[in-house]
A and B are shown apart, each in its own frame.
Chain A
Amino acid sequence: MSLPRANYDPRRVCLNPFPEFTLGKHRRTVGVYLAGALFALANWTFLDAAILSKHAHSPDYDPDWYPPVHVTFVDWIPGICSLLGLLVVNLIDKDRIRGEEGFGDSRAVWRARLFLFIGFALMAGGLAGSVTVLVLKYILKGYEQQYTYYGLANVSQNVALMLSAIVLWIAQSASGEYEYNLTL
């Protein structure tokens, strides 16, 4: 059902379609499982840092020493943004975005694209925010490597959440039987 390459639909947001993967007929299943695994891995990476920070204690030989930095609410914000973005992006009806003729009015397509944009902006904002936290809170202060790990875990959480959203999108748009030809 895709249009020929020559007459581009000016209403399209992005002209490059997602790459077509051929994993066989199980690619939807595999993709969804992979997305869930990435999602859990992302959140556990950050929770690991949070739990580690909570359990950081003074060593036995120096009871007066305290850990210089802890995971606070600031570290949670990028992950929450990415999570909301993932929800928004994957809750959108993907047929709406393609904006085919005779399928809803153009206002609905416009709104769907606006929501998609907000979702991607939230995810990108989460990623950028995690890098910001890493640089401003950990690297610039010159903490040891075991505390910089908190920031690195934050960045990897957001990268994995974004990957999870992308994998889920590709998996769900590449249906086994109906062969959606997704042009975003």
Chain B
Amino acid sequence: MAAGLKTVILLSFVLALGFLLIILSCALFANWLPILVALTFVTAPLPNALFAHCASDEFSSDPGVGGPVDLGRFITSIVVVTGFALPVVLAHAEVIKPAACAMSIAGGALVYGTILAYTNTFKQDEDDFE
């Protein structure tokens, strides 16, 4: 219980740090386009979460197989790469500064890493539930 609580607190701090970096990268340069990175990374686990429920009925013994699950993973991967590519493209086109690009990428990586770590840490609870 205590270990889980510490993990939650740590992860929430990292998440806040990631959002802080992204918002700073927007606010310091008075150009709010990098906020799209935050939206992208928050949306990233959504397709996986949605499509994971599609195939679990048929293949309850092997939940890794099925077209919908693959589609969800495909879209998730697209969204994650989009999150990293968007600031790079914007910086390349000189819409945002390179510093803003680096800050928003770092912030996005922190946010997405938090989401991944949260999912992995608390996966055991779901397994116990099943």
Contacts and interface: CB of A to CB of B under 8 A. Distances in A.
Most A C-beta atoms less than 10 A away, residue of B75, B76, B81: B81
A68 B94 CA distance: 19
A28 B73 CA distance: 10
A55 interface: yes
A171 B86 CA distance: 27
B95 A33 contact: no
Contact of B64 (A37, A39, A176): A176
Interface string B49-90: 000000000000010110000100111111111100110111
A37 B89 CA distance: 16
A51 B93 CA distance: 6
A132 interface: no
Contacts of A183: none
A176 B62 contact: yes
Interface of B: 62, 64-65, 70, 73-82, 85-86, 88-90, 92-95
A173 to B, nearest CB: 12
A92 interface: no
Interface in A74-105: none
Interface of A: 28-29, 32-37, 39-41, 44, 47-48, 51-52, 54-55, 168, 171-172, 175-178
A44 B92 contact: no
A35 B77 contact: yes
**Chain B contact residues: over half helix, strand or loop, or mixed?**
helix
A26 to B, nearest CB: 8
Contacts of A47: 89
Given A29-B73, A32-B73, A48-B93, A40 B62 contact: no
Given A55-B94, A175-B65, A176-B64, A48 B82 contact: no
Contacts of B75: 36
Contact of A41 (B70, B76, B81, B94): B81
A73 to B, nearest CB: 19
A41 to B, nearest CB: 6
Contacts of A36: 73-78, 81
Nearest to B78: A40
B93 A33 contact: no
B85 A33 contact: no
A37 B77 contact: yes
A176 B65 contact: yes
